[in-house]
Amino acid sequence: MERNVALIALFAALIAALGLIPKVTLGFGVPITAQSLGVMLCGTVLGARRGTLAVLLFLLLVAIGLPLLAGGRGGLGVFTSPTVGFLVGFPLAAFVTGLITERWRAAPLTLVAGIAAAVGGIVVLYGVGIAGLALVLGKSLPEAALLVAVFIPGDMLKAAVAGMLTSALARARPAAVLSRS
């Protein structure tokens, strides 16, 4: 119990700390933050249930007014802004990522975690995110998708990093990778 609470709180803090890393600008001028890498790692390392709890805890702290989102944003305003879909998508992304990592044991962990992070952190997250964008801005889904498509290459990079990190963590601290224990 104590260990679960500590790990869930730690990963919530990890998402916040990754948001503090300065933005990296990709070759063609698109800024990416490491924050969604934290969400992917919640799923691949903690598994579906605990990973989702960690992301929900992070969102709760954002909602009560802590500036934990990338760029020092936070408070209730982010839940009515156009990017709300991505915030709602965070816990779902962590859940799907965790579920795939837990269930698919036949392939090497690097590959499984990488693909799980891509499915959860890109397919699911962008699905919900684009729906939210369309709703708040009053646009159709394909129009909203165009607005965020430039960020997908950066997230594919992050999914690959999440895969490698997870298998490295599984070698260094096997007991901490709860998705596989």
Contact call for residues 57 and 10 (beta carbons, < 8 A): no
Backbone angles phi, psi at 69, to 5 degrees: -75, 155
Residue (21 or 111) nearer to another protein, CB? 21
Q: Give the one residue of 25, 71, 123, 174 binding another protein; rule: CB under 8 A.
A: 71
> Which position has the token pair 């997870």?
166
HEC secondary structure over 84-112: HHHHHHHHHHHHHHHHHHHHCCCCCHHHH
Q: Does 32 engage in binding with another protein (CB under 8 A)?
A: no
Q: How far is the CB of 77 from another protein (least distance, A)?
A: 4
Per-residue binding letters, 151-180, with another protein (x by CB under 8 A): ----------x---x--xx--xx--x----
Q: Does 131 engage in binding with another protein (CB under 8 A)?
A: no
Q: Does 12 engage in binding with another protein (CB under 8 A)?
A: yes
Q: Does 150 engage in binding with another protein (CB under 8 A)?
A: no
**In 10 A of CB 82, how many CB atoms?**
16
Tokens of 76: 């209730």
**Cβ contacts of residue 32 below 8 Å, gap of 6+?**
23, 24, 25, 26, 151, 154, 155, 157, 158
What letter represents residue 40's amino acid? M
Q: How far is the CB of 24 from another protein (least distance, A)?
A: 8
CA atoms within 13 A on the CB side of 62: 27
Q: Does 96 engage in binding with another protein (CB under 8 A)?
A: no
Residue (6 or 107) nearer to another protein, CB? 6
**In 10 A of CB 119, how many CB atoms?**
18
Q: Does 138 engage in binding with another protein (CB under 8 A)?
A: yes
Which residues lie near another protein (CB under 8 A)? 1-3, 5-10, 12-14, 16-17, 20-21, 34, 37, 41, 57-58, 60-61, 64-68, 71, 73-82, 136-139, 147, 161, 165, 168-169, 172-173, 176
